[in-house]
């Protein structure tokens, strides 16, 4: 920008006292005023001619600094356009000014809202029409470190603030660069490994967000800066009574820990595997116990922590040669390997049927056929079985037992059904049974 700053009083032209009159966020009655003591006026039919010419005079004076009649006039500042009223005030008043300018042929101007892309496209069209190459436009070069906006006000303080975030930023940038090189070197072998590129994309987006000029520098408002460095989990209790439950989130590392934001205390948690198929693991999930006051929002901070990370589930599986990297996986050897328990219940998985047995409670799967006569048959809305159900007869399923401090479960994998019994190690909850169908 050729003038003092990028705010509205210093972008429309050389006279900030005039330009400030066209920052309609500073209309009388608002929280911000013009320090030159001349307030903006709402644009009406009575004053639009005079106000448009006053603004256009600033535009013309600014345009003399450039070799093109295409002019960029930024309209904004830090912490602006944060509510609907400012959007309406700026848009409606400028729209009246632009309409008047564009409809008066004696003014010889076309003014409109636009983006940076619109500006450079209009500039390129002008250069093409005048057969002037962009390379012939003058450019300013040199060493601009450190930047000073006026006098000896050198902008170097942000290099020493918030050192943890700055190291975190550089460490992530270096790691992403290494990973990018390796992925490109192996790009010919990338079939079936597209998930690697999705991880790279996620990392780049997070790094790009963090490298915002008010993020890594620590120059945004304090709450905003903290938010760049923290990824919080917000848990809502919609009940009118206190509730203790388990929250599960997907993570990309087994080295994860959870703390409560308000108190900073660590939360009981466990890391477990997400199984895509009976013997194939893919993602990881972090489960932790939350104690929620009635009708409350509670904040939890999930962080990477190699020393204090959550304990990992241990697995007993009835199939050989099943592995999950970083987790203890052992074959089922005794009936005790198929048992999970808490202070209230003991649940056993049957080694042959794979189905649950809890004291006197048992689970069976029955198979029903539809009617064989000419009457209406079962369909999307009707259940019209032909005979009594027959017990499903299948070979022994793969049985997987997971044991951890937050929950333990027994999962039996049948050809079309996965049967899971989960036992929570918290007060107030005992048993959850899930049977997803794979049809």
Each residue's pLDDT, cut to its tens digit, for the chain (439 residues) gives 678 888 999 999 999 999 999 999 999 998 899 999 999 999 999 999 999 999 999 999 999 999 889 999 999 998 899 889 999 999 999 999 999 999 999 999 999 999 999 999 999 999 988 887 767 788 888 877 777 776 767 776 666 677 777 877 888 888 888 888 777 776 666 555 677 788 888 888 888 888 877 777 777 777 676 666 655 677 888 888 888 889 998 888 889 999 998 888 999 999 999 887 777 777 899 999 999 898 888 888 888 887 778 889 888 888 777 888 888 888 877 766 677 777 667 776 765 565 656 554 566 778 788 887 777 777 655 777 877 888 776 677 888 888 888 888 888 888 777 888 888 888 766 555 555 555 4
The pLDDT value given to residue 439: 43
Give the closest residue to 278 by CA, choosing from 194, 195, 354: 354
The pLDDT value given to residue 43: 98
The pLDDT value given to residue 323: 80
The pLDDT value given to residue 344: 66
The pLDDT value given to residue 332: 79
Domain extent listing, the chain: 8-136, 157-228, 230-304, 314-370+386-434
- Overall fold of domain 230-304: Immunoglobulin-like (2.60.40)
Q: What is the pTM of this model?
A: 0.47
Q: Which CATH number applies to 314-370+386-434: 3.30.1490.20, 1.10.287.80, 3.90.950.10, 2.70.98.30? A: 2.70.98.30
Q: CATH assignment of 157-228?
A: 1.20.1270.50
The pLDDT value given to residue 436: 57
């Amino acid at each position: 920008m050729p003038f003092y700053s990028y705010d509205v009083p210093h972008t429309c032209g050389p006279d900030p006292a005039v330009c400030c009159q066209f920052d309609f966020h500073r209309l009388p009655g608002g929280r911000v005023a013009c320090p030159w003591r001349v307030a903006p006026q709402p644009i009406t039919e009575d004053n639009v001619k005079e106000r448009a010419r006053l603004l256009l005079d600033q535009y013309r004076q600014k345009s003399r600094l450039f070799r093109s009649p295409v002019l960029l006039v930024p309209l904004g500042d830090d912490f602006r356009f944060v509510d609907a009223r400012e959007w309406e005030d700026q848009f409606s008043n400028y729209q009246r000014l632009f309409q008047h300018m564009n409809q008066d042929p004696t003014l010889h101007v076309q003014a409109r809202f636009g983006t940076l892309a619109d500006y450079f496209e209009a500039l390129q069209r002008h250069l093409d029409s005048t057969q002037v190459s962009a390379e012939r436009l003058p450019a300013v070069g040199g060493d601009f470190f450190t930047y000073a906006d006026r006098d000896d006000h050198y902008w170097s303080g942000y290099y020493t603030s918030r050192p943890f975030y700055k190291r975190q930023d550089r460490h992530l940038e270096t790691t992403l660069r290494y990973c990018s090189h390796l992925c490109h070197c192996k790009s010919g072998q990338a079939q079936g490994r597209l998930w690697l590129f999705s991880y790279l994309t996620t990392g780049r987006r997070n790094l790009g967000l963090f490298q915002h000029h008010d993020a890594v520098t620590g120059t945004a408002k304090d709450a905003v800066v903290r938010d760049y460095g923290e990824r919080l989990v917000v848990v809502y209790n919609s009940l009118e009574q206190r509730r203790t439950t388990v929250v599960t989130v997907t993570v990309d590392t087994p080295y994860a820990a959870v703390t409560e934001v308000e108190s900073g205390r660590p939360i009981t948690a466990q890391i477990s595997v997400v199984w895509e198929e009976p013997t194939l693991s893919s993602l990881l999930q972090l489960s932790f116990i939350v104690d929620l006051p009635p009708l409350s929002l509670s904040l939890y901070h999930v962080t990477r922590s190699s020393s204090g990370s959550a304990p990992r589930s241990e697995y007993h599986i009835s199939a050989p040669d099943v592995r999950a990297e970083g987790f203890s996986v052992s074959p089922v050897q005794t009936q005790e390997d198929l048992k999970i328990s808490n202070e209230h219940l003991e649940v056993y998985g049957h080694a042959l049927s794979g189905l649950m047995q809890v004291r006197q409670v048992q689970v069976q799967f029955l198979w029903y056929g539809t009617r064989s006569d000419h009457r209406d048959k079962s369909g999307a809305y009707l259940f019209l079985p032909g005979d009594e159900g027959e017990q499903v007869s299948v070979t022994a399923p793969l049985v997987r037992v997971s044991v951890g401090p937050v929950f333990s479960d027994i999962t039996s994998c049948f050809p079309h059904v996965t049967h899971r019994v989960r036992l929570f190690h918290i007060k107030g909850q005992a048993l959850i049974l899930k049977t997803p169908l794979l049809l």
